[in-house]
Structure 1
Amino acid sequence: MDLMGRDSILQLRDMLQAAEPQDDSSDEELTSHQPMAKMGPADVGPKKKAEKSALPPTAPKPPTKDIWDEEEVATGAEYEDVLDPRPQPEYDVVFKQAVTSEDMFLQMGNKNLSSASCEDMVVKIKLPGHKSSEVELDVTDKFLDCRTPKYKLGLHLPHPVDSKNGRAQWVQDQEMLVVTLRMVRDLDFINF
């Protein structure tokens, strides 16, 4: 049950070629009138930008056995442990700003009620049944890691902070760790 034999296909090809207008136009004219006529798989997608030869060549990186570049690894990924059964403690992130009488009563400064006017970020971590000596705290610019024998907290911070100049305080009667971190933002010179 062959619908079309070889001869039928060849005749159909000849008929379609005869139906096309035969003129001696060049390929450039064909592509200007029919842009899809000369398109191939490499033409799909955005065009690659030509590299500038004026830039000095960069030194090749020394070969390493690293699987990922440093930029590809999410900040704090080294602290995430899926197999660790310790629960996450209760915590709260609060923004804090220094308000003077000029800001409050005279409204002479640029401060407002939004978090954009806040200078510090305060992370309050409740650790019931612990002492300050049992708490391990590690803070980077974008990640806070707090571990105790019963709890584990890996917190991606909402804003970059100055990790070198932070403060941590243990509140004994509430069994709470209070970490105060100075936020570092690009447009702070406008807000303050």
Structure 2
Amino acid sequence: MDCLGVSSAKSLQALSALLSTQEEEEEDEDCKNVTCVRMDPGHIGPPPPKNKEVPNAYTKKNSKDIWSEEEVAEGSHYDNLADPRPQPEYEIILKQSVGTEDLFLGLSRKDPSSMCCEAMLVKIKLPDTKATDVILDVKEKFLDLRTPKYKLGLHLPNPIHSQEGKAQFFSDKEELEVTLLMKRPMDFINM
């Protein structure tokens, strides 16, 4: 039954001795006495520069600013905790353009998920407010609404095209509807 010629523990030890070289044993003995540097994947490439500061997220520029613009959330300069005006009721509805070819035939790749939505409708209830009293400012990720009675600072769930939206005030319902076109990185696939 001895097909490979390995029949006992002595044979395995002899095979192990043949495979290991004397140079490796000498290096191991040298490393026990002296600090030994072994090559590993960290030694590939040029050595890292010495005495040079590594830039990180907390490195400040030469200005006297406390925070950089990237660290401050968009719209935070509108927050005023001393302002007593209440926040009005609002609702965010995602919209998509769907035709009969989408609904009945399924020719486009649109589905009911939010990834296929093109616009965002923000309905804001403003009782006892006139259209002339509304001040609206829309940024890429923030909607700021001010009236004499209400204040709304709304962080939007998706980035939008701030110059391509429209707003309409319905005085009979006392409601402002703001339609905003969403900015998606994969619009060319989903639309």
> Please, which runs of 5 or more residues in structure 2 have no aligned partner?
1-31, 39-46, 50-59
What amino acid is the match of 1:110? Answer: R
User: Which whole-Å CA distance do the structure 2 matches of 1:125 and 1:62 have between them?
Assistant: 41
Q: Which residues of structure 1 form unaligned runs of 5+?
A: 1-23, 33-48, 52-60
- Report deviation, 1:105: 1.1
Percent of aligned pairs sharing the same letter: 54
Aligned twin of 1:26 = 34
Partner residue in 1 for 2:137: 138
Q: Identify the residue that residue 126 of structure 2 maps to in structure 1.
A: 127
Distance 1:27 1:63, change over 3 A: closer
Aligned to 1:112: 111
Say whether 1:166 aligns with 2:165: yes
Secondary structure in structure 2 of the residue aligned to 1:133: helix
Aligned to 1:57: none
| Number of residue pairs the alignment of both structures matches | 143
- Cα RMSD of the aligned pairs, angstroms, is 2.2
Residue 189 (structure 1) shift: 1.1
Asked whether 1:189 is paired with 2:153, we answer no
Equivalent residue of 1:70, what SS?
Answer: coil
Change (3 A) 1:126 1:50: farther
TM-score by length of 2: 0.70
Q: TM-score, normalising length from structure 1?
A: 0.70
**In the TM superposition, what is the alpha-carbon distance from 1:50 to its structure 2 partner?**
3.6
Q: How does 1:7-18 map to 2 (within 5 A)?
A: none
Equivalent in the alignment of 1:179: 178
Distance in 2 between residues matched to 1:109 and 1:27, nearest whole Å? 67
Runs of 4+ in 1 over 4 A off after TM superposition: none
